[in-house]
Amino acid sequence: MLRIYSAWLLILLQLPNIWCMSDGRRDELRDETASLFKHGYEGYMKYAYPADELRPLTCGPLYRDPDPNNVGINDIHANVSMTLLDVLSTLPVIHPTAFPKAVQLVAEKVSFDQDVKVQVFEMTIRALGALLSTHQTLDDLPDDPTEQYRALHLDQSEVDESWIWSSRKSSTIDVKQYKGRILELAYDLGKRLLPAFEPVTGIPYARVNLRTGLLKGESIETCTAGAGSLLLEFALLSRLTGDDRFEQLAHQAYLAIWNRRSAQNLLGNTIGTHGHWLAPGMSGVGAGMDSYFEYGVKAGIMLDDDTYSDIFYDSYAAIQTYVRTTDGFIYRPIQTRLLQPASPSTIDSLSAFLPAMQVLAGDVESAIKSHLVFWNLWRKYDAMPESFLWQERKMEWTGYPGRPEFIESTYYLYQATKDPFYLRVGEKILHDLKTRTKTRCGFATLKNVMTGEQEDRMESFMLSESLKYLYLLFANTPFPNSNTVFTTEGHPLRMPPSLLKQPSSTRRALRKGENPTCPLYRPNTVGGSSGSPGIIVGIEGRGDYDYARSLVYGLDDSGAQVEDRRRIWYDGGVCKIPIEPKFTFEIVLSPLDSNNATAVPPEDPSPGPNKVNQDPLTGHYQITDVEGLRLGVRWRFDGKGYDVASIGPHRIRQGQNVIIRDPAMRDHLPIPATTPIDSTSPPELLLRFLSYSSPKAAISLQSSEDDGQVLLHAVGATAIFGNEFIPITPPELDEGPTSWRIGQKPIPLIIPPETDGKPYQGCSAMSLEWLGIDHDSRDPFVLMVSRGGCTFLEKLLVAADIGATGILVIGHPPIKAGEPVSPEREAEGGFEEGLIRPSAEYDESDPRFRNVKKVGMIYTEWVIGEVLKQMMQEDDKKILGIEILNIDSPEGTLMPPVGSMTSSRSCEKDRTTGEGLLMVGDWPIMNLRVTDNAIRFQQGKSPESL
């Protein structure tokens, strides 16, 4: 069982060396990091320059590979002294005495007129970003050479480094003279990358030849990150040079990717320049996707353009809803179509960038959790393995090339929280880099983090990012603000105010009343009262700190000791598995008759000003007719509950309220909790289908002689009414099943025959003989029906009447281009593909609905039904079984019950009471108000009193 922190406070108070780090110690770590950076930089300059990279084991240069298929080397090696280019923006911060000579060498020696094929993305983030950042650094310097000398802090260096800078003993330096040449090089490189944007889709090719352009027969395959992470560099290049092509093309590429998102706002990993997603069709936040999301939030900051911010927050909501596990800690790959986790399911080292992005976005709580997983990975292996099978708790890919993502996230979280825990994380990283990767002339790649086997390569990001972010962490350097960001390669870029574009009048109107704020991090405290805040509990004292450890180490006490080897956990408790509230969902407003269980609210997808209008003075949105309005609701980063984020096509921005002024709502207050969130069933489950060789007449699987052959897995959405899908508990294992449960043995799945070529929709009663079931049989079974023909509630009641334990609803088939839509399907709003959660309203006291809670309903996609029917047609003597598992732990069926809206955080902090607010489960919708002269709020509060 998991240990829980209990009665540990007194122990922690006795460990000041664990909880604090002196300024002197932090300065020592800063200076040690600077020394390591100088070691790597000078090793490159002595042994490898002007080659692109250093061989740190043999202390020699690394050149392009004659094998063109070795893209791992050749994508980056452009014969342009890439390591020198990549560290240009770091030198003024850590090694300023080397900066003047480095700028001179780049300005006078580097040429991009090279007959080499390189990757557009890598050349953009490493070379173009470094040049633009250096140009801005030079532009900021005083014109006077003496003042430049002081501004670069060259007067503070007591080390003779004349081999780096020949005029070291002079007290003046005119490095600003190279400002124009550096921008000229950036412009030249940018133009050489433009042939990649030939496709009419706007999605660029991944590679070009710097001299000849696009090569004949070039692969159309690229990735989301590669095609969509050019915004920052290309936009700044356009505005500095006046050539709009770069920004326009990067903008088109970013939107071209986004416009091909799934119905759930998920993006795939691999895409072709022709605009179609390629196999394997996975979504997530790791390799191939990472920086697309990063550039969305950063472009919004640097360019002050809410186009990118809006896209980012929409994509982030999808990530939090579908990619994140319900405990809030793991972000795993997921199939974009079936919304099914990958098998095997991995997390990779590149996804360690996520906490940094979450801090920038304002979601510090999620950043803390995701960072803790990577922290335990680093703790366990003394490095960050490239790929980790998180469900099996073992490595898939053992290498570590010195990647910076985890270090970057540690830096951002320290800036956001000021918790010294992150300084100690940095100290551990610094120690491991020094002892495991440092060589005589640089830093080696770890080929195997377990054995310590090294590889003869030093990637440029080891200097330009990894050691830079460590230095910034210990130097306590705030991250940039005010239209300034670090690129995905760690180069600081800023958009000067004079080059910012003013938003259109329409956008200014839509943003009226907007009040964007970054949620303030509030650490947990204990022992507080109204007059005292109590004692601050650091990250290591969180109740879920040990849970994050268990995700990597396992459920025993492995890794449960802190640095001084004294235990701070208590054996007597059990730690609950945390459950995060649903991040985003939609509700449809409608004053329906609650006594009519078959009433379906009409949907108005594009409400006009007669229903929704924005107050030109306050910016708040007013609803005067709720009928059919679809509201998008999202979790607030401050943890207080939810906000309405959209009304149909209208985006609700932070600070804007939604006010309902429809008198029809008078008789419908207080509005009850929205059932999709209040339901104790997990919103999604993993379905496992099996086939058995028993005769079809033997409907009971208990009599099957074999264990069944697994046919396929699929994801299903649970209904918000009917039987609750909760896990079985050990005492029930030997008892006969009384309802459809998670972890229960497989139940027979009955597929009724088609009538007149149409699948059975479950709207009318049928005989058990027609289904092939013995009248005397009392064994449970699940009935498969197709969507349409009647309401979900009617289907469930029909199934209950014939004794079914569960009902599997198969969704509508996809609509082909040009295919007419039937009136029935149009009335159902059945245009969408993918999963939905069936819902129904009924009076539980009405005897007509006494059997509703006896039957469970799960909804899955049309393609799953087609596959199952095809399999049965191939062998009609077999019978099918269906089993349901927890989607986040398919191998662990005995999971604790999934609560409704209760989070592990809710017992740590006082929760908003929700007085006067509309509630979703236990949480309020903070920016939604209902007001009318005759309408009063919940708890008797009036809108004016809020």
As annotated, the binding site includes 488
* Cβ 267 vs Cβ 321: under 8 Å: no
Which is it for strands 782-786 and 806-810: parallel, antiparallel or unpaired? parallel
Residue 192 phi/psi, 5-degree rounding, is -75, -15
Cα–Cα distance between 216 and 206 in angstroms, integer?
13
Which is it for strands 658-660 and 621-623: parallel, antiparallel or unpaired? parallel
Which residue in 405, 432, 459, 724 is the catalytic one?
A: 405
* Cβ 795 vs Cβ 770: under 8 Å: no
Cα–Cα distance between 135 and 233 in angstroms, integer?
12
Please, what is the end-to-end C-alpha distance for the chain in angstroms? 45
Q: Is 525 exposed, middle or buried (0-12, 13-18, 19+ CB in 10 A)?
A: middle
Q: State how far the alpha carbon of 829 is from the alpha carbons of 353, 760, 839, in Å.
A: 39, 20, 14
Residue 442: alpha-carbon gap to chain centroid: 34
Q: State how far the alpha carbon of 777 is from the alpha carbons of 698, 706, 796, in Å.
A: 10, 21, 20
Residue 939: alpha-carbon gap to chain centroid: 37
Q: Of all helices (H) and strands (E), which one includes residue 470?
A: helix 467-475
3-class secondary structure per residue, 536-561:
EECHHHCCCHHHHHHHHHCCCCCCCE
| DSSP structure class, residue 875 | -
Which is it for strands 454-455 and 282-283: parallel, antiparallel or unpaired? unpaired
Q: Of all helices (H) and strands (E), which one includes residue 770?
A: helix 768-771
Binding residues for Ca(2+): 488
Cβ count near 156 (within 10 Å): 9
* Cβ 467 vs Cβ 37: under 8 Å: yes
Cα–Cα distance between 96 and 895 in angstroms, integer?
56
* Cβ 191 vs Cβ 128: under 8 Å: no
Cα–Cα distance between 37 and 95 in angstroms, integer?
8
Crossing angle of helices 405-417/421-436, nearest 10°?
Answer: 160
> Which single residue is written with the structure tokens 């210990």?
474
The CA radius of gyration of the chain, in Å to the nearest whole number, is 30
* Cβ 719 vs Cβ 837: under 8 Å: yes
Q: Known catalytic residue: 891?
A: no
Which two structure tokens, joined as six digits, stand for 141?
A: 């310097």
What's the longest Cα–Cα distance across the chain? 102
Q: Known catalytic residue: 405?
A: yes
* Cβ 158 vs Cβ 220: under 8 Å: no
Cα–Cα distance between 797 and 771 in angstroms, integer?
17
Cα–Cα distance between 858 and 807 in angstroms, integer?
6
Q: State how far the alpha carbon of 715 is from the alpha carbons of 321, 346, 492, 861, 863, in Å.
A: 14, 18, 43, 8, 12
Strand locations in 237-382 (E)? 270-272, 282-283, 334-335, 346-348
Q: State how far the alpha carbon of 473 is from the alpha carbons of 33, 54, 410, 677, in Å.
A: 10, 26, 8, 40
Cis peptide, bond prior to residue 746, ω within 30 of zero: no
Give the side-chain half-sphere CA count within 13 A for 42.
17
* Cβ 462 vs Cβ 439: under 8 Å: no
> Which single residue is written with the structure tokens 């020394």?
35
The residues that bridge with 923 in the sheet, in sequence order, are 920
Residues serving a catalytic function are 122, 290, 386, 405
